[in-house]
Amino acid sequence: MGTRFFNRENIESNGTSPTRYDIDSEIGSGEYATYTVHIPVTPDNQPSPMAIQLERRASQRVEEHYTTNSIFTGGHNCVTRAHVMDKVIGTDSSHPQMAGAKGSVCAIQGCDAKIMSDERGEHLLPCECDFKICRDCHYDAVRTGDGICPGCKEPYKGEFDLAGVDDGRVLTLSSPVGVSKAGEFDQNGWLFETKGTYGYGNAIWPKEGAGGDGGNDNVGESSQLLSKQWRPLTRKLSIKAAILSPYRLLVLVRMVVLGLFLTWRIRNPNEDAMWLWGMSVVCEVWFAFSWVLDQLPKLCPINRYADLNVLKEKFETPNPRNPSGKSDLPGLDMFVSTADPEKEPPLVTANTILSILAADYPVEKLSCYVSDDGGALLTFEAMAEAASFANLWVPFCRKHDIEPRNPESYFNLKRDPYKNKVRPDFVKDRRRLKREYDEYKVRINGLPDSIRRRSDAYNAREEMKALKLQRQNKNEDEPLENVKVPKATWMADGTHWPGTWVVSGPEHSRGDHAGIIQVMLKPPSDEPLNGTSIDAIPIDLTEVDIRLPLLVYVSREKRLGYDHNKKAGAMNALVRASAIMSNGPFILNLDCDHYIYNSQALREGMCFMMDRGGDRLCYVQFPQRFEGIDPSDRYANHNTVFFDVNMRALDGIQGPMYVGTGCLFRRTALYGFDPPRSKEHHGCCSSSCCFGNRKKKPASVAHASEEEDSSSSQGLREADDELSLALLPKSFGNSSFLIDSIPVAEFQGRPLADHPSVKNGRQPGALTMAREPLDAVTVAEAISVISCWYEDKTEWGRRVGWIYGSVTEDVVTGYRMHNRGWRSVYCVTKRDAFRGTAPINLTDRLHQVLRWATGSVEIFFSRNNALLGSHRMKLLQKIAYLNVGIYPFTSIFLIVYCFLPALSLFSGEFIVQSLNVAFLTYLLGITITLCLLAVLEIKWSGIELEEWWRNEQFWLIGGTSAHLAAVLQGLLKVIAGIEISFTLTSKSAGDDLDDEFADLYLIRWTSLMIPPITIMITNLIGVAVGVTRTIYSEIPQWSRLLGGVFFSFWVLVHLYPFAKGLMGRRGRTPTIVFVWSGLIAITISLLWVAINPPSGSSEIGGSFQFP
């Protein structure tokens, strides 16, 4: 066991290993020696080419084994260390890909290395005597010991193949491309306008004369491919004209009716109550404007369909360029983010990881990165347990075609688990896996206690050592001092955890710890690896591929004084680390509580990226679906109107918005580049078409020309047009590994050039080569790019990666891509692609909406306002993004309008002079058109009427509570720089803990509830006052009473779910609710008596006097 130190000057830019390592044999020692041994080449010491090749291959295998069994740490102003771990978790690891896999030790005296093993993890014994020997000692025996076995002292018989690593090359890019005749650097040209004859990892390097233009064989193969009938991977399904045409006509009719109604309202004021009339007209004008912003982007809804059979035929079927039929699909990096194991249970995150590892995508092309932004050992060991359990769970899913592939969801299915299962051993396998899963859950649930007991034991041992050392060094007359030993958190191998300790210490707290990378599962082999039926494995896997995707644990470095930018910063750290370690051209991010529900969803998303014109897609957004929601969906937690109406409609314009999870990104779009052929594409709905032609500018890099900064960054755009290749580090950082990976990712993400209309394509079979094995230098470089200082003076978070500066970084990131001319696609799969959880109690739901609305207000007051959008974004898309920033401000007018019925009933007046025929006709027309539009939306979107109505109800609940608070918070932040947070102050738990929906009745008091409670009580009192006055009035004004009561009823019906949520279960309402209700009722009553005293008294308050 030892620790390897990496200095940045020893890490070469060409990706090869350094020629010397600094090794410290004593863990934790700060002093180490550096030495280099040179063996001169003599006539007696001439290595043969075969020996050189075997030695290089063996060194690659040894380096990969070392890399995957080491935890890498490092960061700002500290040395990068690779600490070899004998064990990652308390239990033994058996899978050959897993870090810390169990193995025997070499029998040579003085050597503690693991013996040689194959891809299955089985021992390789080169001699018939079965003498256990490691790879290095075997080479010594063959080269210096005349091939004599150290065990039986007999010569080795036959040839022992130690190869198994493909002879791959790591070549650098040719001379810089994309430089114009004038010497200016066009970065988009450097990225896209090349022949595509470069590659790395899974990409092929064409032979001389066989690339782009030359080679007769290439022409013959291309013509043969082009002669086949071309079939698209996706199809666009239009909405039926019988539904869409009336829908558009009704939108136009309602706009006309609204215009006529507002004109009539302005021309017919209520002279008796001008204040009431004025407030109502202002609110109605704003509501009409807000409705138009929301409705216009819904005019072009479409549906899409992905053909998985065509995907398999094009990318996984033998053809002249791919005779073996290996998968030609591009690499895919999956991101899972978590921050706090107390709020996000490790079991949930671990099951999400298992669903990713079991996804139906080529194993060698899939990689999973887990971002632990809290740096907790609990999350680390939970991920290690998940990797260990994946050894059984993933092959079981492949063997029996299990859906869903989240074990918790699968074993809790309420339908028949044996339906459509035909293998006779399914029942036995399922029963055994269920038992293994129960044990796995118990282990994860017991991790907090296990870590605590382990740490207490090690800390007690350290205290005993320190006390013993103190007694040895002290004089007899000196008293013993209290021994102060830091309360460290200890890993399973008996060393300090480099991340956050349970008891925070210096450089080991949540906001101050080193960067950590641990390869939990090393990259799989290129060829399928079937399992065995040995007794140690509970199920028979002889016909099942047991390989697992690459799994990497990442915890970025955090230091005091740095702004780490929350989730956006963590995602950008994963982008950089994954670019160096696997460099998948596509990235799919998931929240820790969202798992893969449809194992083929990744393939469906890839259909859109690999189809004709797919190179102009920045991302494919999947709808969010939720589990654990109450059947009535009281608070519209499913958000079906947004995901099935708004997002589907945006798909017909320029694409849906990015909503934070379940999104398949193109890596180069995240890097901030413009789409290819951006000069050619200007849609008919773009603002340049609507507002006249503008002078077109040449395409450039994202961090070069963006119209979103038109008011403040004209000089920057002019300067960026003169960028050179040497200035790329100013945008992406100083990692040459990262910069070199950018054109490689772009090439691998191109669609197939299998049709004359496919521009910027790649040849079939270009991604069938095995990936390069991981080495320590690569992981050490990944450590450097996740350090807290790496983003300093770069474009990360401003124009590259996830964008900083907003709590809704997802919307801003998607907006920036659309603003550069990229398109996106909405992929609605027949079986839900992903599923997650959502808060079902009122308080959590309000705080969730508050966060979203606060982000929208921040967007409105930033340069990401759609009013500053570029001409590359279509007009209707701009309107959709403008509505995102404006909708919270509707709450100001909504809360005023909700008080108007009560004010009308209190004052005896109404918003109009009288309920005449014109007013009632307009009101009827507006209501009927709204209902008909709702019916047609339900028809083309597939949602239910109840879901639409729940959305309408929560629109008013959220608008009078969370949205209003978000506007106040945003205005205070922009104007005065004051930030306000709305926290929970009291808690009332449900009675039945076994109830699946117990959280629905969980009530936590929050200040967000005050406005809706006030509105309800005011309207109830107003109805009582209005009815009383009308009944006892000498001249009853029944029309005014009817109007006020009708609108009060409209308000109270919308607030009914809110009122029901306040009651909790069986009327268990918190006392604070009654207190506020009483105070508000008394205040309103006193105000009413003061304003309108009883008849016969001229004094305020009537004839009442204090005694």
Judged on CB neighbours under 10 Å (0-12, 13-18, 19+), 932 is middle
d(CA 757, CA 232): 12
Distance of alpha carbon 191 from its chain centroid, rounded?
26
Q: Is 803 exposed, middle or buried (0-12, 13-18, 19+ CB in 10 A)?
A: buried
DSSP SS3 for 22: strand
Please give the backbone phi and psi of residue 347, each rounded to the nearest 5 degrees, phi first: -65, -40
CB 188 within 8 A of CB 728: no
Question: Catalytic site residue 167?
Answer: no
Contacts of 1031 (CB under 8 A, 6+ apart): none
- The answer to whether 373 is a known catalytic residue is yes
Residue 1037 has a CB neighbour count (10 Å cut-off) of 17
- DSSP letter for each residue of 514-583: -EEEEEEEPPPPSS--B----TTSSS--TTSB----EEEEEE--B-TT----HHHHHHHHHHHHHHHHT-
The number of residues in the chain equals 1107
Angle, CA 149 vertex, CA 143 and CA 154 arms, to 5°: 115
Query: Are 643 and 649 a contacting pair, CB within 8 Å?
Result: no
What is the Cα–Cα distance from 91 to 388, expressed in whole angstroms?
9
Of 186, 333, 373, 740, which is the active-site residue?
A: 373
- What does the alpha-carbon distance between residue 879 and residue 284 come to, in Å, rounded to a whole number? 20
Q: Which tokens sit at 217?
A: 């064989």
The whole-angstrom separation of Cα 801 and Cα 794 is 11
Give which of 951, 961, 966 is closest to 1062, Cα–Cα.
961
Tokens representing 459 are 């800390």
Q: Which of 429, 611, 615, 810 does the annotation list as catalytic? A: 810
Task: Please tell me whether residue 621 adopts helix, strand or coil conformation.
Answer: strand
Nearest CA to 701 out of 115, 187, 112, 1050 is that of: 187
DSSP structure string for 964-1021:
HHHHHHHHHHHHT---------EEE--S-TT-TTGGGG-EEE-GGGHHHHHHHHHHHH
Burial class (CB in 10 A: 0-12, 13-18, 19+), 702: buried
Say if residue 155 is exposed, middle or buried (CB neighbours under 10 Å; 0-12, 13-18, 19+): exposed
| Spatial CA neighbour of 910 closest among 286, 282, 269 | 269
Could you tell me the two tokens for 484?
Answer: 């102060």
Active site residues: 373, 810
